[in-house]
Copies of this chain bind each other. A is one copy, B any other.
Amino acid sequence: METIGICGAGLIGASWAIGFANAGFKCLVYDSNEESFDKFESVSNQLIQDLKILNPQLNIEKIKSNIVLKCSIEEICKNSILIQESIIEDLDIKKKVFKQLDKLSTKDTIIASSSSYLLISKISEDVEYRDRCINAHPALPPHVVPFVEVGGSPDTSKYIIEKALSIYKKANYAAIVINKETEGFILNRLQGALLNEAVRLHEGGFASMDDIDIALKHALGIRWAFMGPFEIMDLNAPEGIKDSFTRYKSGIQNLAKEQNSVPEYSDEYLNKLENEQRKRLPYSDRSGRIEKRNKMIALIRKLKLELGEDIQNG
């Protein structure tokens, strides 16, 4: 049985532990703050409930028996093929932890950061064996959206990237490669492009918050739930993707010329967003909505699985 070290026992750490444990890996979980484990079981149980929607035959006992809590940092470093760091998003703290992990683990152990924006070239700056350090950024919520984008610094070895990809795929993650370091990686660059435009349209008075959300959820998003932008473009004109882009390119280019302002996200604007959003969804209904979101994601994935459109590894 292969061993994964989990560094950080918060929500993201718990989610990684469940994902790996469910795929048959042994997970050793460490947190510098022992109190982090107080909520680990209740959080895990909640996450497992969402996974049961996707797979009613989920072997909960197997998952639990594969997770060992309250390990020391030495224990998670020993014999792990990969250590997944999911601690606070603070560069200095991550740098220190990476230095520790590097010293305590054998040279061929992969050390992966879950950071959503700190680049591994920075995080691994003070590390001796930088060739085995990577970014491995999950999507939210990671237990029902088992996606990970994997990228290295210029010092990371290609072999390590390939090895990490095969481990994540073995654990049933949709794993993609970031070929060159770039802020926001792939996921948040795509999301950010859309989000900035949504804000330009809303702040500029072109459409309401409700209507922009509708354009996503009742039109664009239904397709993006099972096809990416290139696949969709391929089906949008009779001759395929080149035909589509040839027809629409001047329009798309004109948009690019206009979509280049940087929204200010002023306090005044953010207060306006907060007020509008709270009118649609009172704060007290928010946790119910998060539960519904996780359930919806699990059900869409179940549908995709039944139709052969879910993650296909191997």
Contacts and interface: CB of A to CB of B under 8 A. Distances in A.
A214 B242 contact: no
A97 interface: no
Given A228-B214, A235-B286, A186 B174 contact: no
Contacts of A191: 220
Contacts of A156: none
B183 A300 contact: no
A214 B176 contact: yes
Contacts of A257: 262
A219 interface: yes
* A interface secondary structure, majority: helix
A72 interface: no
Contacts of A221: 221, 223-228
A270 interface: yes
Given A228-B212, A241-B274, A255-B188, A182 B206 contact: yes
A223 B122 CA distance: 31
A270 B255 contact: no
Contact of A190 (B117, B216, B245, B299): B216
Interface of A: 117, 139-140, 145, 147, 149, 174, 176-180, 182-184, 186-198, 201-202, 204-231, 233-236, 240-242, 245-246, 249, 251-263, 265, 270-271, 273-274, 277-278, 280-281, 283, 286, 289-290, 292-293, 295-297, 299-301, 303-304, 307, 309-311
